């Protein structure tokens, strides 16, 4: 099965964005946990109604952090493989693909940074994708 170069690079960025979202969710859960905890200077009551909620939040945090750690390890491997492939390209091509697909820069921003007309920058990215596709096809 042939891997599409554009989809391959987009999947790396997408996975990173998903990880960022999960980290934000964990942060929000931690904030919720700290706002629903009992102040330590108050009298301790043995039947605090939100203990079950707090336990559920802690369990969710632990589960999500485990999932984040697993996905982060997978991401490191995927990114490493992507960079190995990108290093097989001309440096100009690889830098354009990294900036656009992995770092998520817009083409207008890339064209300005590289002092290229927008249409020429798009053409170079298209050429770079074609070269990466050749490499992917050879490896399958």
pLDDT in tens, 101-114: 999 999 999 999 99
pLDDT in tens, 30-46: 998 887 655 555 555 55
CATH no., domain 5-36+51-139? 1.20.140
Q: Give the pLDDT confidence score for residue 25 in this predicted structure.
A: 95
Q: Helix, strand, coil proportions of the chain in percent (round to 5)?
A: 80, 0, 20
Give me the count of residues in the chain: 140
Q: Give the pLDDT confidence score for residue 54 in this predicted structure.
A: 82
Q: Where are the domains of the chain?
A: 5-36+51-139
pTM, two decimals, is 0.74
pLDDT in tens, 54-65: 888 889 999 999
Q: Do the beta carbons of residue 33 and residue 57 sit within 8 Å?
A: yes
């Amino acid at each position: 099965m042939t891997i599409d170069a554009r989809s391959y690079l987009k999947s790396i960025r997408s996975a990173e964005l998903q990880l960022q979202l999960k980290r934000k969710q964990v942060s929000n859960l931690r904030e919720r946990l700290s706002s629903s905890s009992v102040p330590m200077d108050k009298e301790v009551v043995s039947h605090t109604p939100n203990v079950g909620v707090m336990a559920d939040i802690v369990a969710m945090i632990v589960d999500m952090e485990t999932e984040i750690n697993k996905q982060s390890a997978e991401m490191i491997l995927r990114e490493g493989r992507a960079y190995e492939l990108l290093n097989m390209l001309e440096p100009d091509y690889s830098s354009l693909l990294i900036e656009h697909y992995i770092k998520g820069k817009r083409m207008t921003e890339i064209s300005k940074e590289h002092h290229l007309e927008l249409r020429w920058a798009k053409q170079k990215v298209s050429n770079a994708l074609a070269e990466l596709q050749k490499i992917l096809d050879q490896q399958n």
